[in-house]
Amino acid sequence: MIQNFNISSKLKEILESVMDPEIPVLNVVDLGVIRNVQVNGKEITIKLTPTYSGCPAMDVIGDDLERAFEKEGYSAHIQLIMSPPWTTDWITDRGRKALEDYGIAAPLDETADKDVLLNEKKLVKCTNCGSTNTKLVSQFGSTACKAMFQCEDCHEPFDYFKCLK
Amino acid sequence: MKQINNPTSTSISGSTSSPIRELNPQFLESKENKQHLIDYLLGVADNYLILGQRLGELCGHGPNLEPDIAITNISLDLLGQVRSYYQYIAQIKGDKTTEDDIAFLRTEREYKNVLLVEQPNTDFAYIIVRQYFFDVYNRLFLNALQQSGDETLRALAFKGIKEASYHERFSGDWLKRLGDGTEESKVKTQEAVNNLWIFTEELFHKTEADQSMIEVGVAIDMTQFKELYYEKIKEQLTIAAIEIPEVEYFQKGGKQGIHSEHMGFLLSEMQYMQRTYPDSRW
Ligand SMILES: [Zn+2]
């Protein structure tokens, strides 16, 4: 359910200028947290869905959106919606690429995710050398959305963006 | 603070076939119903707050880096969930109450969490066993709550269960590792299980508010999965080579606000800032 908003390219540009504060290469559209945008003249109503319940980035994203629109002469109103819940499937292809380039392995599908996190199968690609000879170091990482991995070929430690469905 | 929007019922995905009894919109016009709903929500949410606070105490004090990060991540999930419930309560109350007032400005007797979650961080075995006993309940509870007649609760259940399952995976794995680990970890885990077992049954104890909300279809009857709960934890304890305790009676009281001696200490630390500097904000 990747959203296509029926908005002007100018507004889209403003939306895409707002980054996830914890992954500053991933904008909020590519993260898939913007669920709806309604435009009424200069009034913009944005429906935002949290990634994880306690994700401290959500408040920051809301504030950043308000500021970004205000700078361009608009007034943005943020509404948090809980349903349907966010899933990593909503990260766009461009978003996945941005993650990989930044050194965070993008989420696998659900079955493969279980296999790497529970059965410790080697499926996650090292973001440094591309090898799948990688091992799970910790199920929880620096933020709620990530787990820690290490490459057994080049020894690079890296984050894996966990699949959430 | 952003307002949570009531989701539209059409946007709920993944509900199973059993019929959902939609809540009558006039329901909240009765003062008694309103109070029962608030009490019911507190009974659910206070467990998350108090367990989240207990786990938060461990920030920087985990046995090593990985469980330290995991435990604080779980704490963050729980605190995130509790905010949604408290915001919902504030919305139902419709006065000036904020989520912070509900979290920080109540007295001990007004908290409705079960005794299990307020038990102290005695050692790592206690932390894991307490967590596992709660996580299994929480997953089964959120699974059932997806059939609530209240659309906000359904949305919170859908959102929360993904996280709850991940928590259970963490605590369940550690339970196995500790029980089937060294001589010392086994002894400590057995002791934690023996001492925390008596707090498990309270999870299934129905208060007046629970009963009333079950009748109108907002709450789900948790006794429907009680057997499943004990089956699951007994199975896991057996895998962990831990003996199942046999006890004559179980402890309860938290749901009525009658807490253990540990609760006051927990609250005094948690409420310190708001009590010392009223209305302080980030
Ligand atoms: Zn590598």
- A84:B70 CB<8 A: no
- What is the A25 CA–ligand 1 centroid distance (Å)? 21
* N residues, chain B: 282
A109 found inside a domain: yes
- B5:A52 CB<8 A: no
- What is the A104 CA–ligand 1 centroid distance (Å)? 12
Q: What is the pLDDT of residues B141-179, one digit of tens each?
A: 999 999 999 989 999 999 899 889 889 999 999 999 999
Are A77 and A137 part of one and the same domain?
Answer: no
- A53:B77 CB<8 A: yes
A13 found inside a domain: yes
**Closest approach of chain B CAs to the CA of A129, in angstroms?**
25
CA distance B168 to B152: 24
Compute φ and ψ for A105, nearest 5 degrees.
-65, 130
Per cent of chain A over pLDDT 70 is 97
- What is the A19 CA–ligand 1 centroid distance (Å)? 27
Say if residues A20 and A28 touch (Cβ distance below 8 Å): yes
Q: Which token pair is B248? A: 């004559």
- What is the B272 CA–ligand 1 centroid distance (Å)? 47
ipTM: 0.74
CATH code, domain carrying A85: 3.30.300.130
The set of residues, in sequence order, having a beta carbon less than 8 Å from that of B1 and lying 6+ positions away, is B87, B98, B99
**Closest approach of chain A CAs to the CA of B141, in angstroms?**
17
**Residue showing tokens 């963490």:** B170
A97 found inside a domain: no
> pTM of this prediction?
0.86
List the single range of A28-42, A87-101, B18-32 with lowest mean pLDDT.
B18-32
Helix (H, G, I), strand (E, B) or coil at B56: helix
Are A108 and A85 part of one and the same domain?
Answer: no
Q: What is the pLDDT of residues B216-229, one digit of tens each?
A: 999 999 999 999 99
- A139:B170 CB<8 A: yes
Q: How many domains does chain A have?
A: 2
- B5:A80 CB<8 A: yes
**Chain A residues whose beta carbon lies within 8 Å of the beta carbon of residue B76:** 52, 54-56, 144
Confidence of residue B17 (pLDDT cuts 50, 70, 90): very low
Q: What is the pLDDT of residues B120-146, one digit of tens each?
A: 999 999 999 999 999 999 999 999 999
A3 found inside a domain: no
Domain extent for A151: 104-161
Q: For residue B169, which of B111, B112, B216, B232 has the smallest C-alpha distance?
A: B232
A147 found inside a domain: yes
Confidence of residue A3 (pLDDT cuts 50, 70, 90): low
Q: What is the pLDDT of residues B53-92, one digit of tens each?
A: 999 999 999 888 889 999 999 999 999 999 999 999 999 9
Ion ligand 1: residues, CB within 5 A, are A 126, 128-129, 131, 151, 153-154, 156
Are A41 and A113 part of one and the same domain?
Answer: no
Q: Residue A2: what pLDDT?
A: 56
Q: Is the pLDDT of residue B4 over 60?
A: no
A134 found inside a domain: yes
- B4:A50 CB<8 A: no
Residues of A with CB under 8 A from a CB of B: 47-48, 50, 52-56, 59, 62, 78-85, 117-118, 137-144, 148, 164-165
Domain range summary for chain B, segments of one domain joined by +:
30-276
A99 found inside a domain: no
Q: Is the pLDDT of residue B97 over 60?
A: yes
A95 found inside a domain: no
User: Within a 10 A sphere around the Cβ of A1, how many other Cβ atoms?
Assistant: 9
Confidence of residue B203 (pLDDT cuts 50, 70, 90): very high
Looking at per-residue pLDDT, the higher value among B122 and B7 belongs to: B122
DSSP string, B228-256: HHHHHHHHHHHHTT-PPP--S-----GGG
- B66:A138 CB<8 A: yes
Q: For residue B74, which of B112, B130, B35 has the smallest C-alpha distance?
A: B130
The H or E element containing residue B15 is: none
Q: Is the pLDDT of residue B1 over 80?
A: no
Q: Residue B16: what pLDDT?
A: 41
Determine the residue among A58, A83, A120 to mutate to test chain B binding: the one whose Cβ has the most chain B Cβ atoms within 10 Å.
A83
**How many angstroms from the chain centroid is the CA of residue B225?**
16
CATH number of B30-276: 1.20.1260.10
Say if residues B84 and B4 touch (Cβ distance below 8 Å): yes
- A139:B13 CB<8 A: no
Are A121 and A61 part of one and the same domain?
Answer: no
Say if residues B9 and B152 touch (Cβ distance below 8 Å): no
Q: Residue A129: what pLDDT?
A: 94
